[in-house]
Amino acid sequence: MHDGWRDRVSSSGVRGVWRYAELLPVQKQHRVDIGAGGTPLVRSTELGKAVGIRNLYVKNDTVNPTYSFKDRPSSVAVSKAREFGINIVGCASTGNLASATLAHAAAAGLVGFVLMPDTVELPKVKQASIYGGNVILVDGTYDDVNRLAYLLVDRSDVGIVNVNLRPYYVEGSKTMMYEVVEHLGWRAPQHIVVPMASGALFGALHKGLRELEQFGVLESAETVFHGVQPEGCSPISTAYAAGTDEIRPVKKPETLVKSLAIGTPGDGAYALTVARTTGGTCQAVSDEETVEAIKLLSKHAGIFAEPGGAVTVAAVKKMRDEGVLDTGDEVVCCVTGAGFKVDEVVDRIVGPTHVVPAKLQSILDVLKDRPVITE
């Protein structure tokens, strides 16, 4: 592959997930492309200063078509459904996959449905409801929803992107790693920090990197993988900390990081292996640390993230404080979902909005203590 492939990619003029179509298992005529992927890798000097890392990059996947990285797996899984001749596609979701699946189903002309726990944030429910599919809220946890999705697959001809189409779903996620490597000038980063719910994204990024090595695109890929979960639902990170392979289900997740609240992570064992074999770690961060990270990302990098995306910045800060990361390390932080999706958390940070009378003096009064303007 090799140089030829790199050149073909670089000169393809295609942006996003399908830029890497030769490494994706879908025939061209079935591809659904609403612009997933092709997101910026931003060198974040100011954020780096705030967390103590000189070479910090943010892979900003908040700017996908439905505002989370889930557009990547959905684009490939829904395309594959179309190739298989499946007309009804759905998913079990903690919030973000719902919109990604329904948006792709809409664009593919397929019928869409999603199952979500009724505790999902309201903006995510509203967003999912706009794409014309069927949004079903279930009185239960994500594990209940997931179990129902498996039962549904047994009883019908539907394609569920993270159940019977899961192998294709993972193929879409791996493109995030291809992009990071390409943006760095076809070089593997030293460290990568990734949010984990089921652990699928973490494993997919590792798969993507290994493929580039196997296909001779990279000579060596020594990237250290760090996964991050919220303390209130951290079955993978708890097993990592205990040095065991036994992942104990979390029956009642309690965290404001709802998009990562999966008590029984399907790819947990794989995630543990990836962290251990690459010399990485699995981290758990508190809700307070996550809220602080949302502030840091917006204030120092201009990126508005949801808690599930910001956990990685919280973990970088923690790993720096604890000496797991060194100030000179090169770190890529994956920020996977946008802040518009979680208004309760944002309200907590920004507080009430003030309105002033329409007079210049009112504006000057507000700005007087700040060096923005001089009278």
Q: Which residues bind ligand PLP (CB under 6 A)?
A: 68, 94, 96-97, 195-202, 259-260, 308-309, 336-337
- Residue 112 or 268: the one with the smaller Cβ distance to ligand PLP is 268
Residue nearest to ligand PLP (CB): 337
CA-to-CA distance for 241 and 234, rounded, in angstroms? 10
The count of residues in the chain is 375
Instruction: Identify the CA nearest to 308 among candidates 236, 230, 235.
Output: 230
CB of residue 237 vs ligand PLP: minimum separation in angstroms? 12
Residue 152 and residue 274: Cα distance in Å, rounded? 31
Least CB distance to ligand PLP at residue 131 (A)? 17
Give the pair of three-digit tokens for residue 117: 């726990």
Question: What is d(CA 64, CA 72) in angstroms, rounded to the nearest whole number?
Answer: 8
Q: Are strands 224-230 and 191-195 parallel, antiparallel or unpaired?
A: parallel
- Beta pairing partners, 224: 191
- Residue 225: CB minimum distance to ligand PLP, A: 13
Q: Closer CB to ligand PLP, residue 58 or residue 97?
A: 97
* Burial of 69 (C-beta count, 10 Å sphere; 0-12/13-18/19+): buried
Output DSSP code: residue 165. T
Residue 297's alpha-carbon distances to 127, 153, 259, 286, 304, in angstroms, are 23, 40, 18, 16, 7
Q: How many helices (H) and strands (E) does the chain have?
A: 15, 10
> Least distance to ligand PLP from the beta carbon of 195, Å?
4
Kindly state the smallest distance separating residue 133's Cβ from ligand PLP, in Å.
Answer: 18
Q: At what angle do helices 268-277 and 200-214 cross, to 10 degrees?
A: 50
Nearer CB in complex with ligand PLP: 42/98: 98
218 versus 303: smaller Cβ distance to ligand PLP: 303
Burial class (CB in 10 A: 0-12, 13-18, 19+), 64: buried
For residue 322, the minimal CB distance to ligand PLP (Å) is: 23
| 367: three-class secondary structure by DSSP | helix
Nearest CB to ligand PLP, comparing residues 218 and 278:
278
The CB-of-49 to ligand PLP minimum distance in angstroms stands at 25
* Cβ-based nearer residue to ligand PLP, 69 or 113: 69
Is the Cβ–Cβ distance between 78 and 89 less than 8 Å? yes
Pick 68 or 127: Cβ nearer ligand PLP: 68
Instruction: CB nearer to ligand PLP: give 9 or 115.
Output: 115
Output 9 or 161, the one with its CB closest to ligand PLP: 161
CB of 260 to ligand PLP, least distance (A): 6
β-pairing verdict for 88-92 and 111-117? parallel
CB of 53 to ligand PLP, least distance (A): 21
